[in-house]
Amino acid sequence: MTENITFSNVGRKETLNKIAKETYDLVVIGGGITGAGIALDASSRGMKVLLLEKGDFASGTSSKSTKLIHGGLRYLKQFDFWLVKEVGSERAIVHKLAPHLVIPEKMLLPLIEGGSYGKWLTSIGLKVYDILAQVEGDDKRQMLEKKEALKLEPLLPKKILNGAGYYAEYRTDDARLTLENIKTSLQFGTKAINYAQVTDFIYKDERVAGVKFHDGVFGDDYEVSSQYVINAAGPWVDELRSVNQSKKGKRLHLTKGVHLVFPREKLPVQQSVYFDIPDGRMMFAIPRGKVTYIGTTDTNYNSDKDHVTTDIADAIYLITAVNHMFPDIHLELDDIISSWAGLRPLIHEEGKSASELSRKDEIFTSDTGLVSIAGGKLTGYRKMAERVVNRIAKQMEEDHGRKLEACTTDKIRLCGSDFKKFKHVKKFIAMVYDRIHDSGFSEYDAWYLVTTYGIQTETILERYAQLNSADPFERMIRAEAQFTIAHEMALNPMDFFIRRTGRLYFDIDSVRKYMEPVLEEFQTAYGYSSEEMDAFRAEMEGELKEHSNFSLDRA
């Protein structure tokens, strides 16, 4: 089974020494969703690919989005029909590739007096959206009267509500989607390393012919030769263009998006709602397991890209908007249990505000042949990858007479998926629940395992059965940690609690409760010293505090 490919940092030095001896067709810089999609596309066409990520996979933008594979309804307002059409049709493809990870989610769009969306325009807009996105069957939009809308979502404002649009979107875990793309690319020969920062380029005849990179774990420096290099470093794209002395013309414009997480009982929306903010922007409230999260802000960002935080002003802005839309809800700063903040690497356009900037991707090629890709949306990652790999494929044919196959990633099922349809995912969740409920696990626990790992849940349950611990929940989290260390390159507890499992955002109590057993698993796997363990513990405590402490003295 594909989920048992060894993909681990155990034996890292040996892995890096082997990698440095090879010559590659393509080095991809950046282990976010764009780089992951490129690695899968290029390797599945027959290229020999190396992917390098300076932090952990998905640790930049790709673990901090709104976690929706959505069709970009708001881009209709900007008359960006091309973008709506592309990301709209991509939703259905990505859902098919990993139905356990890209999950159907109905979205309610309340129509309120004086709001951004009127009844007639919304009806036409959603119809156009359905046509552009090739939406079929039950997923087609419905226009609801006030009474129907309130039945679906009783928290909506009765006094100013005129009705609602009701349409289909998909929810995902962005970091897991990134990781499963990378793991799938391994089946086609990709080599991928996290904590490996590209510091410079190698040149031959004034062309980029490889990269120099620094190992963030042991501190060694390496060089690797490659015919082509793609810079897919997200918010850091322009830094690498500067290293290549090719930062000319268009440049990045970073905006910050913040999300807040609340206990479900504090914001008990029945399903996802996409609603107006008085300043004319739009916002999401999305129920997920034990919590509901809200977002997002869209503000210009010029600070430290490696440390993006939620500040009090962001939190107050979002809470005020929710309390305005849902009259019976009275959220306060103390109700926040977690949060995340991430950057959008958009393309700068003079005179446009953060929320007006296009979400289209752009490809830049320098005089020395460095190809950089920036902009774009999570939903469009597969098409972005296809476009940039097409460009490399064309170059390869011109330079070396080597013709590559066309893109087939629309048919390559992602690692963890053995499901033809979402109903099979539901069946598998029920089966897993049947197997674990006698030990005290809930339906949520079964849902969490399957929507995180898919069929790889089987491997975790096998590990769980072999462990000895009086507390079944501790046994399960140890089994998860072992799996992510052996098969997902998890190197430390931050990788595990934030990006492999999303627990820091969606189940923060489990992080506090099971931090020590998880730390033990990492110490067993990597032989970390007690000093290193203390450093990890302190870092994890810092993450807990930063993501969940929103008392006013923080301002």
Q: What percentage of the chain has pLDDT greater than the value 70?
A: 96
Strand pairing report for 221-231 and 282-288: unpaired
Give the total residue count for the chain: 555
How confident is the model at residue 77, as a pLDDT?
Answer: 65
How confident is the model at residue 101, as a pLDDT?
Answer: 97
Per-residue pLDDT reduced to its tens digit, 301-323:
999 999 999 999 999 999 999 99
Most confident of 113-117, 344-348, 406-410: 406-410
Show Cβ contacts of residue 138 under 8 Å, excluding neighbours closer than 6 positions: none
Confidence of residue 550 (pLDDT cuts 50, 70, 90): confident
How confident is the model at residue 554, as a pLDDT?
Answer: 47
Contact 90, 383 (CB under 8 A): yes
How confident is the model at residue 439, as a pLDDT?
Answer: 96
Number of neighbouring beta carbons within 10 Å of residue 456: 25
* Collapsed DSSP state (helix, strand, coil) of residue 19: helix
Per-residue pLDDT reduced to its tens digit, 216-230:
999 999 999 999 999
Average of pLDDT values for 196-208? 97
> Is it the case that residue 478 has pLDDT exceeding 80?
yes
Burial of 537 (0-12, 13-18, 19+ CB in 10 A): middle
Amino acid letter, 69 = I
How confident is the model at residue 76, as a pLDDT?
Answer: 67
Average of pLDDT values for 279-302? 93
Contact 361, 374 (CB under 8 A): yes
Distance between CA atoms of 5 and 488, rounded to whole angstroms? 9
Distance between CA atoms of 191 and 290, rounded to whole angstroms? 36
DSSP secondary-structure letter at 336?
Answer: -
Q: Which residue has the higher pLDDT, 83 or 330?
A: 330
* Collapsed DSSP state (helix, strand, coil) of residue 550: coil
* Collapsed DSSP state (helix, strand, coil) of residue 56: coil
How confident is the model at residue 2, as a pLDDT?
Answer: 39
Distance between CA atoms of 480 and 500, rounded to whole angstroms? 9
Distances 518 to 401, 457, 512 between C-alpha atoms, Å:
51, 18, 11
Per-residue pLDDT reduced to its tens digit, 76-125:
666 677 777 777 788 889 999 999 999 988 999 999 998 877 888 788 88
* Collapsed DSSP state (helix, strand, coil) of residue 491: coil
Show Cβ contacts of residue 343 under 8 Å, excluding neighbours closer than 6 positions: 60, 61, 64, 234, 235, 254, 255, 256, 257, 301, 305, 308
Strand pairing report for 282-288 and 371-375: unpaired
Distances 554 to 69, 295, 330, 546 between C-alpha atoms, Å:
33, 20, 21, 10
The separation between the first and the last C-alpha atoms of the chain, rounded to the nearest angstrom, is 50
Determine which helix (DSSP H) or strand (DSSP E) holds 374, and give its type and residue range. strand 371-375
How confident is the model at residue 3, as a pLDDT?
Answer: 45
Average of pLDDT values for 364-375? 95
Smallest CA-to-CA distance from 291 within 319, 265, 273, 326 is with: 265
> Is it the case that residue 46 has pLDDT exceeding 80?
yes
Confidence of residue 200 (pLDDT cuts 50, 70, 90): very high
How confident is the model at residue 78, as a pLDDT?
Answer: 66
> Is it the case that residue 360 has pLDDT exceeding 80?
no
Per-residue pLDDT reduced to its tens digit, 481-520:
999 999 999 999 999 999 999 999 999 999 999 999 999 9
How confident is the model at residue 351, as a pLDDT?
Answer: 73
> Is it the case that residue 555 has pLDDT exceeding 60?
no
- State the Cα angle at 44 between 41 and 49, rounded to 5°: 75
- Is the whole model's pTM more than 0.85, yes or no? yes
Q: What percentage of the chain has pLDDT greater than the value 90?
A: 79
